[in-house]
Structure 1
Amino acid sequence: MLLEPRDYPVIEPGTALGVALVEFFNVLEPVYADGAKGVFQVIVFGGCAVHVHTQSRGSADVDAEVASHGQADRSEIIGLLGDDAYVFVDEDGVSQMLELDPSFNTTLGPLHEDYEDRVVRLKTQSAIPNVEVYVAGPIDVAISKLGRFGVRDQQDIQALLSLPLVDINEFERLAREAIGYYVGNPVPVLGNLASSLKDYQRASEG
């Protein structure tokens, strides 16, 4: 669904990985540069989104939800993005790479139905016209990690919840709403939510 033009909150992808995440989508130049195929919009989740919000860790996988592919063929777009890894140099001078995760799907974990209302636009955008890059809001990224809930997911959730503009009560409310219509078994996810809230409370008191 095309994201409507409005004043989205913005964030500067001020790290090597953040800039590489924007440049990753430059491969779409032959499809969108002339404007004939409309606008491409992507919302990034996963470790890359966590990094943009917190700078706490990196990720080699790009978990991307295509919000709009204009008049282009979606399979062609996914094919272009998945053809080659994008290589960049991090702050330590080490070569790193980004690759599209073709298995990513927003239905694989809990996610609030209104997550598009809270997306954040990257201040630095692709040099390619008609290619727009967004990241999911920190609360929605945290909610999406309540399903798998591995050690890294738990760390990511706490890093996101500790951000100054994140309201823990809003996180709990939206998470419970999302779990209410989650297609999987809600019981363990509710347990993961309770565990996350306890960890947050413990860190706040410590």
Structure 2
Amino acid sequence: MLDAAVAAFARRGYRAASMDEIAVAAGVSKPLVYLYLNSKDDLFTACIRREAEALKAAVRASVEVGAPADRQLWSGLLGFFEYTAAHPDGWTILYSQARTVGEPFADEVAAMRAEIVEFVRGLIAAAARDAECDEELAEREVAALAHALVGAAESLAGRPGPATGRENAATLMNFAWSGLANLMSGHTWTPSGFRPTPRAGR
């Protein structure tokens, strides 16, 4: 039933997809759909939650625990891109449909995204510790870098074109890791004449 619903919502959108067509595609009666899930809203929420849990599990499982920091980040990105490429309907629901329909569906996706960002933040923070990066610099930059990296990955995964998951992961690593490596060693870029705003209590 959820497989049929995911396909229908991804193909036609939340508003256009009907419970009738979902029931037909699932090979069950419409009353049975309502028996298990009280409404179209509940069905869509169940789809979002299933796809979100599957994506999070795929990313976590793909990370090579104990590997060097760059290898862990690479394997996590590769897991993300390979999963979204293999499950385009699920990714369409998470990246396009749920965000545009509005609350409470967008909140479900935001919660999933926050977990992935926190997971990536942990990977980058571990890399900073391994590189003995300045603690103040790491504290200031790591969370922002995690948000930026996840946003870039989402954008690439939603991009039409022939690029494979491996190519997308390599593109993002080439874009991000050189900058991260410089940051970890204390070599940061600032525009000419820029002075950071003093932090409270410092």
Query: TM-score of the superposition, structure 2-length normalised?
Result: 0.23
Query: TM-score of the superposition, structure 1-length normalised?
Result: 0.23
Bigger Rg, structure 1 or 2: 2
Report which structure shows greater RCO (CA 8 Å, sep ≥6).
1
Please state which structure has a larger fraction of its residues in strand.
Answer: 1
Please state which structure has a larger fraction of its residues in helix.
Answer: 2
